Amino acid sequence: MADWTLDSIQTASEAMAESYYQQSRHNLEAAREAARLAVRLSPQNGYAWTRLGELEFSFGRAARALEALENGLTFTPRNAQAHALHGFVLSARNRITEAQAAFETATQLDG
């Protein structure tokens, strides 16, 4: 269980930092919960949505990851990392042509 609460984290940035910290401690459940909190605290934060997508994908939840990434890309359409992850998620769903386009976009954005 996480050693933080909704009351102890006030911003999406704090929640994102907690998410990475929990991941560094091999606590992916807490990392994902912190990413969910980041999205709740800042629903238009594309980086928070992308982080949530990363963690959903790490649990093999491609549909949830795709939904989170699509939200992330709505708010931060030039986020190369989100496009790259989008490519992996689309590949996992056997949407190869779309995945290739996502990878190409990521490469163009992060030349």
Q: What is the pLDDT of residues 51-65, one digit of tens each?
A: 999 999 999 999 999
Looking at residue 11, its amino acid is T
Q: Is 92 left (phi over 0), alpha (psi -120 to 50) or beta?
A: alpha
Cβ atoms of 69 and 53 within 8 Å: the answer is: yes
pLDDT digits 0-9 by tens, 34-49: 999 999 999 999 999 9
Assigned token pair, 67: 């939904």
Cα distance from N-terminal residue to C-terminal residue, the chain: 39
Q: Please give the Cα distance from 54 to 48 (Å, whole number).
A: 10
Higher pLDDT, 3 or 70: 70
* pTM score, whole prediction: 0.90
